Structure 1
Amino acid sequence: MPQVDQNIKEKMLFIKKFVAEPRMIGSITPSSPQLVASMLCNVDWDKIACIAEFGAGTGVVTKAIMKNKLPQSRLFVFEIEDDLRQKLIRDTGLDIYDDARRLPHVLREERLRKVDLIVSGLPYAVLPQEVTAAVLDGISRTLAEDGMFVAFQYSLHMKSAFERIFKEVKIRFVMMNIPPAFVYECRGLKG
């Protein structure tokens, strides 16, 4: 019963934040287990030494990453909404960063050059264009040559933007999510 109560509390917090700031949160509910599974299904965890997650929300994907990653793998989590960030800190014990645009700076501070996996739940379609451009620039500067970028979106709005950055863009549709979502799996940074 305590887990059910926790799930209800997380959903209520998410709805409250969405109503207050729909451009910041981007969804009315946390990601479903089916969406999380689709996002992480092709990750080769044995080859992942450094991970970044953008738009962690209530930590549904964060917890799946923590469960699957190697113990020595580094994880950098970004969540801009303060209440959600504080909840993530309490729930995970991780340092949670505020703005995904800061990834290159955070890596420099940690004396790291590249990440092997970037997982994104950012609502690119509703973010200001300059924010999306800055996040995409950070991805292209920090993702390892053989790295993988995975994002979910509620439309195909970002398809052409991702195709400009990556040689390979695969898209999966996940019906079992509210709302249904597209998972973009991207590899091979262009030029």
Structure 2
Amino acid sequence: MYLSFVSQYLVKPRTVGAISPSSKYLASKMVQDIDFSASSYIVELGAGTGIFTDQLIEKRKKGTVLLVIEYNAAFYKHLKEKYQDVEHCYVVHGSAEKLSFYMEQYHLPYADAVVSGLPFASLPKEMATQILAVVQESLRDKGKFITFQYTNMKKRMIEDFFPKVKVTREFRNLPPAYVFCCMKK
């Protein structure tokens, strides 16, 4: 899958956002602040090769619904095949901007957590703000939005939607990444 990841980056850098897949260390940091015992509905945006998805499936409680949305066709096909037999895991080929539609389609009344691998720094500003708005609307009170970026450049934009943002750094990723854990009021 690594060669496929690199080829997708070369062909579609705006939708992939990095030259290599996320590390297991970044995956662990991305899910560490989720209260899995109290989460019934989890959404993942931009799952890529599924490194965060694997962690979400492993840690979720029995019966928790996981909705995975992937825009890149090659990654979607890989994820659909990889998770086809996983109970309560739905993989959608689509855009994060349509999160509300997909949640309604799969009967998610809200999200306890939204985990994102989307490259906000390379998305058009209008699209990025639309995604952040729909994520904020989809979260239950005190729900968490967790994303990572390679710079702090989009922190202010994220804070426009989530005033309470905890930032940590994962150096054991190529390149090192900032993890933003945002809580809905």
Quick check: TM above 0.5? yes
2:138 corresponds to: 142
Given the alignment of the two structures, is residue 92 of structure 1 paired with residue 83 of structure 2, yes or no? yes
Specify the code of the residue in structure 1 equivalent to 2:121: A
Per-residue Cα deviation, 1:33-69 (whole angstroms, up to 9, x for no partner): 1101111112110011000101100111111101111
Classify the secondary structure of the residue corresponding to 2:140. strand
Given the alignment of the two structures, is residue 161 of structure 1 paired with residue 161 of structure 2, yes or no? no
Rounded Cα–Cα distance in structure 1 between residues aligned with 2:32 and 2:68:
19
1:175 corresponds to: 171
Residue 95 of structure 1: how far off its partner (Å): 3.4
Residue 107 of structure 1: how far off its partner (Å): 1.6
Rounded Cα–Cα distance in structure 2 between residues aligned with 1:188 and 1:129:
21
1:58 corresponds to: 49
Q: How many residues were matched structurally?
A: 180
Give the TM-score, by structure 1 length: 0.90
CA RMSD of aligned residues (A): 1.1
Classify the secondary structure of the residue corresponding to 1:95. strand
Rounded Cα–Cα distance in structure 2 between residues aligned with 1:135 and 1:42:
21
Residue 110 of structure 1: how far off its partner (Å): 3.0
Given the alignment of the two structures, is residue 75 of structure 1 paired with residue 70 of structure 2, yes or no? no
Per-residue Cα deviation, 1:118-138 (whole angstroms, up to 9, x for no partner): 000000000112211221111
Residue 166 of structure 1: how far off its partner (Å): 1.6
Unaligned runs of 5+ in 1: 1-9
Rounded Cα–Cα distance in structure 2 between residues aligned with 1:74 and 1:145:
18
1:30 corresponds to: 21
- After TM superposition, the structure 1 stretch with the greater mean CA deviation from structure 2, 125-134 or 25-34, is 125-134
Rounded Cα–Cα distance in structure 2 between residues aligned with 1:139 and 1:132:
11
Given the alignment of the two structures, is residue 151 of structure 1 paired with residue 142 of structure 2, yes or no? no
Residue 112 of structure 1: how far off its partner (Å): 3.0
Rounded Cα–Cα distance in structure 1 between residues aligned with 2:33 and 2:178:
15
Rounded Cα–Cα distance in structure 2 between residues aligned with 1:154 and 1:73:
30
Rounded Cα–Cα distance in structure 2 between residues aligned with 1:112 and 1:40:
20
Identity %: 30
1:7 corresponds to: none
1:3 corresponds to: none
Residue 91 of structure 1: how far off its partner (Å): 0.6
Classify the secondary structure of the residue corresponding to 1:125. helix
Given the alignment of the two structures, is residue 102 of structure 1 paired with residue 106 of structure 2, yes or no? no
Rounded Cα–Cα distance in structure 1 between residues aligned with 2:6 and 2:91:
21
Give the TM-score, by structure 2 length: 0.93
